[in-house]
Amino acid sequence: MEGFRERFILCCQSTFPCFGDPANEFTKPPNRELPPTPVEKPGCVYIALYDYTARTENDLSFNAGDKLEPLRKEEDWWYARGITGISANKEGYIPANYVAPEESLDAEPWYFPETKRLEAEKMLMSQENKNGAFLIRNCESQAGELSLSALLQNKKVKHFKIRRLDNGGYFVSRIQSFFTLKELVEHYSNVDGLSVRLTEPCKKTMAPETHGLSYNTVDQWEIPRSSLKLLKKLGAGQFGEVYEGIWNDSTAVAVKTLKPGSMDTKDFLREAQIMKKLRHPKLIQLYAVCTTEEPIYIVTELMSNGSLLEYLQKDRGASLQMSDQIEMGSQVASGMAFIELQNYIHRDLAARNVLVGDNNVCKVADFGLARVFQMENENVYEAKEGGKFPVKWTAPEAIHENKFTIKSDVWSFGILLYEIVTFGQMPYPTMTNFQVIQQLPKGYRMPCPLNCPKYLYDIMSECWKDSPADRPTFETLQWKLEDCFDMDVSSYDDTNRY
């Protein structure tokens, strides 16, 4: 590998002029020695929403419920002083998305604003919650409205619409209104009036992903290879292997090790610069890279259940129901809607490139890497222009004209829905790649899979429109799939009858 680093730096300089400069943050750690200058107003107190364990010597550990005072706010990591709890009288960096202002709605333990209905049901029905556990979330069917979800004694979840008064108050039943949500919660925690008396807030078992591994890696994301330990091999593919690993002896990560020669380093760095800025709850977060020698490492957040393809094939309907499958599709559509909004393209959307975490949380992975990898596999097709594609997932205009757009990603999403509803079955199961290439321009489309609801197959068919312009946007696909949940309104209790 002699001379590899020099070639790498020259490569980076040609692509990004600031790279390779001794003063550049990519190759030289930023100066973190001097404590930041306080800019927050004294006495501004925040409440910790989750536990956090320091990952570096510059971080500050704290427990949920601890009070902290930010001394300096940056975008994702704040320098703060602990007021109560294990962080009392200590200073260090904290993830900004782990805290909320004291006395704010976000600080309330029962407030779960971005939680979907199906997700709320799964969370409330977990073993940690008892009868009367509850949460308040944004209503999916009506923008700006709220829903109260509560666990009944029979381990079922009941949902209540929270309506607003013109003067800003709230009510569930018209016979009783409240100035604040906190007053509403306190009332139904002490008296009957709903079909269940509220007890404890739903347990917040899953902390959000931090933005980056730590404050030190936000800008300095080329990390030392020595800071990573590869623990367990999770899988292998045509481009390399994926491991469960640990960074800095503190943080669980996934590490993709790429086969030498599987990608052009210059192209990868250009794409990685974009990928690192694409942050969304339904996209796998790129944490860091190791590119100063081969094999190249790509370090991302770890998802406990591996690829969606393997997850579906392993389950085969044992625990996953159609509502779970639709939810998976809506999560992928949500991540892709963000990619669409950013004018970016995935190019290889498929179940194998979606990862699954706890509670069936799905996140899109490997976006943008398809045009970087040197693809060599029997399941890809080489066009005359030299481009290679996974045929059974690729839109006709991408195969024949090498035209990749967000609309070709929409076509691939239709194939992904087919994979989801068939528990990971190969698309076009009776056809070869060559037959697919021949038949698609003639109007052939896969028939409706067994046990697939008509409304779901209709969504697939819209994705497979011949003209890209006629295919829906991912934003439309997201709300169409989410609307599937709202078809059943029986779980909502109309308390207006009281």
Tell me the CA distances in angstroms from 176 to 62, 169, 182, 190, 423, one per residue in order.
Answer: 39, 10, 14, 14, 48
- Collapsing DSSP to helix, strand or coil, 331 comes out as helix
Q: What is the CATH number of the domain that holds 223?
A: 3.30.200.20
Does residue 12 lie within any of the structural domains?
no
Q: What is the DSSP string of 97-166?
A: GGEEETTSGGGSTTB-TT--HHHHHHHHTSTT--TT-EEEEE-SSSTT-EEEEEE-TTS-EEEEEEEE-T
Alpha-carbon gap, residue 74 to 370, rounded angstroms: 33
186-198: per-residue pLDDT in tens?
999 998 788 889 9
- Collapsing DSSP to helix, strand or coil, 81 comes out as strand
Mean pLDDT across 220-230: 91
Alpha-carbon gap, residue 40 to 72, rounded angstroms: 6
331-343: per-residue pLDDT in tens?
999 999 999 999 9
Q: What is the CATH number of the domain that holds 155?
A: 3.30.505.10
User: Which band of pLDDT confidence, cut at 50, 70 and 90, is reported for residue 294?
Assistant: confident
Q: Is 54's pLDDT higher than 90?
A: yes
Alpha-carbon gap, residue 157 to 33, rounded angstroms: 51
Sole residue written with tokens 């594609």: 389
**From 348, 366, 409, 493, the catalytic residue:** 348
Q: Is 6's pLDDT higher than 50?
A: no
Sole residue written with tokens 């709850």: 281
Residues 413 and 315 placed together within one structural domain of the fold: yes
Residues 369 and 440 placed together within one structural domain of the fold: yes
Q: Which two tokens stand for residue 67?
A: 């009070």
Does residue 173 lie within any of the structural domains?
yes
Residues 125 and 176 placed together within one structural domain of the fold: yes
- Collapsing DSSP to helix, strand or coil, 436 comes out as helix
494 is catalytic: no
User: Which band of pLDDT confidence, cut at 50, 70 and 90, is reported for residue 46?
Assistant: very high
94-146: per-residue pLDDT in tens?
999 999 999 899 999 999 998 888 889 989 998 889 999 999 999 877 777 89
Residues 447 and 406 placed together within one structural domain of the fold: yes
Q: Domain range holding 394? A: 308-486
End position of a domain, from candidates 247, 282, 300: 300
Task: Using DSSP bridges, classify how beta strands 251-258 and 240-247 pair: parallel, antiparallel or unpaired.
Answer: antiparallel
Cite the annotated binding site for ATP by residue number: 256
Mean pLDDT across 30-47: 57
Residues 447 and 336 placed together within one structural domain of the fold: yes
Does residue 214 lie within any of the structural domains?
no
Residues 363 and 472 placed together within one structural domain of the fold: yes
Sole residue written with tokens 């994301």: 221
Alpha-carbon gap, residue 296 to 334, rounded angstroms: 30
Q: What is the domain count for the chain?
A: 4
End position of a domain, from candidates 262, 283, 300: 300
Residues 359 and 390 placed together within one structural domain of the fold: yes
User: Which band of pLDDT confidence, cut at 50, 70 and 90, is reported for residue 358?
Assistant: confident
Residues 56 and 173 placed together within one structural domain of the fold: no
Residues 357 and 418 placed together within one structural domain of the fold: yes
What pLDDT score was predicted for residue 13? 43
Residues 473 and 337 placed together within one structural domain of the fold: yes
Q: Is 209's pLDDT higher than 80?
A: yes
Q: Is there a contact between 326 and 333 (Cβ–Cβ < 8 Å)?
A: no
Instruction: Using CB atoms within 10 Å of the CB of residue 394, give its burial: 0 to 12 exposed, 13 to 18 middle, 19+ buried.
Output: buried
**Average pLDDT score over the chain:** 84
